[in-house]
């Protein structure tokens, strides 16, 4: 299983590089942000494919961040679930977020910050393991834990392809340009490519290329964080209002429930 996982991660890397190359061949990419850059080696490779774009990165661990800085990446050492990005609005041409969000409980703050720093017309390349992959479905049918969200593992969130599309497409901030799928356990890489293309919703990993179409002062992900926090408060107080009622679609429902949103920075930083 570990060998197949390594093959999938290599295929994900190649797919992201291919999308980067496609974007860079059509327009100038001057600034590139790698969310979760580790030691910067991949970040520098991304920047090279983007014709020498200036490389920025975010990393929570000091050691790898120092290595990334030595490689020439402008690194911010920060906690994605608590901290805001240190860059101005619309300062990035392209953001890569590869295999990161499955490690986060609070995805609302980093999603809002990615949208904030990306310029209108800029691109986001986003990938996460697919909770609804064929092998995960088989494991669940057998009463076993899915590999993408093990109890004794680093992942705390599971995403189906449909949920990723809803997350990134919330309220029309981003337009989906392309959906790619990688890996198809237990098939070899050769056969996996064909089946992942044919059945992306059952592949191991989902990769989405989305493009920002508008800039806002308030983001739908921050709105949902506010609804979550309001629900917690009303439940704790023993009362129930419209914010604490079940919502048919979390993102769409939260937008309808909240209307115009005040400053939600504190709510987002403490969202579950």
Domain of residue 186 covers 2-212
**pLDDT-based confidence at residue 65 (cuts at 50, 70, 90):** very high
Could you say which of 172, 187, 212 is where a domain stops? 212
- State the pLDDT confidence band at 193, using cuts at 50, 70 and 90: confident
Rounded to an integer, the average pLDDT of 45-54 is: 95
Tokens read off for 236: 């704790």
* Dihedral over alpha carbons 21, 26, 29, 35 (to 10 degrees): -50
Which residue in 181, 171, 250 sits closest to 212, CA to CA? 171
**How many domains, in total, are found in the chain?**
2
Contact 32, 74 (CB under 8 A): no
Residues 175 and 249 in one domain: no
Residue with tokens 């959906």: 179
Task: Say yes or no: 167 and 72 in one domain.
Answer: yes
Whether residue 207 is found in the same domain as residue 239 = no
Last residue of a domain, one of 212, 238, 253: 212
Q: Does 198 lie in the same domain as 112?
A: yes
Q: Are 47 and 92 in a shared domain?
A: yes
178 and 201 inside one domain: yes
- Range with the lowest mean pLDDT among 16-20, 114-118, 229-233? 229-233
Residue with the bigger pLDDT between 2 and 94: it is 94
CB 94 within 8 A of CB 31: yes
Q: What percent of the chain has pLDDT over 90?
A: 68
152 and 235 share one domain: no
CATH number for 51: 3.40.50.150
Mean confidence (pLDDT) of the chain: 86
Distance of CA 9 to the CA centre of its chain: 16
Q: Which of 181, 212, 243 is the C-terminal boundary of a domain?
A: 212
CA distance 149 to 155: 5
Within 13 Å and on the Cβ side, how many CA atoms surround 178?
A: 15
DSSP state of 109: H
Query: Closest Cα partner for 33 from 57, 68, 17, 50?
Result: 57
Whether residues 165 and 183 share a domain: the answer is yes
Same domain? 198 vs 92: yes
pLDDT per position as a tens digit, 170-186: 999 999 999 999 988 88
Residue 240's SS3 state is coil
- Same-domain status, 165 and 241: no
Q: Are residues 136 and 186 in the same domain?
A: yes
- In this structure, the answer to whether residues 90 and 172 fall within a common structural domain is yes
Tokens of 211: 């493009």
Per the model's pLDDT, the better-predicted residue between 11 and 225 turns out to be: 11
**pLDDT the model gives residue 257:** 37
d(CA 183, CA 189): 7
pLDDT in tens, 136-156: 999 999 999 999 999 888 999
């Amino acid at each position: 299983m570990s060998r197949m996982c390594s093959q999938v991660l290599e295929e994900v890397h190649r797919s992201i590089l291919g999308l980067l190359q496609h974007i860079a061949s059509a327009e100038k990419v001057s600034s590139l942000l790698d969310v979760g850059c580790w030691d910067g080696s991949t970040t520098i490779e991304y920047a090279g494919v983007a014709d020498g774009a200036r490389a920025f990165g975010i990393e929570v661990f000091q050691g790898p961040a120092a290595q990334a800085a030595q490689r020439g990446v402008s690194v911010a050492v920060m906690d994605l679930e608590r901290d805001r990005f240190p860059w101005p609005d619309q300062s990035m041409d392209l953001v890569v977020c590869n295999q990161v969000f499955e490690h986060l409980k609070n995805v609302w703050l980093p999603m809002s910050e990615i949208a904030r720093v990306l310029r209108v017309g800029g691109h986001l390349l986003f990938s996460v393991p697919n909770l609804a992959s064929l092998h995960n479905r088989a494991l669940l049918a057998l009463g076993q834990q899915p590999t993408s969200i093990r109890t004794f593992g680093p992942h705390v969130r599971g995403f189906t392809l449909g949920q990723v599309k809803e997350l990134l497409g919330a309220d029309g901030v981003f337009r989906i340009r392309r959906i790619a799928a990688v890996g198809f356990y237990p098939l070899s890489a050769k056969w996996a490519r064909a089946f992942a293309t044919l059945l992306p919703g059952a592949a191991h990993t989902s990769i989405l290329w989305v493009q920002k179409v508008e800039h806002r002062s308030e983001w739908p992900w921050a709105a949902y964080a506010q609804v979550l926090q309001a629900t917690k408060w009303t439940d704790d107080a023993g009362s129930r209002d419209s914010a604490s009622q079940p919502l048919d679609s979390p993102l769409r429902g939260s937008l309808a429930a909240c209307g115009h949103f005040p400053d939600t920075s504190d709510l987002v930083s403490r969202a579950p």
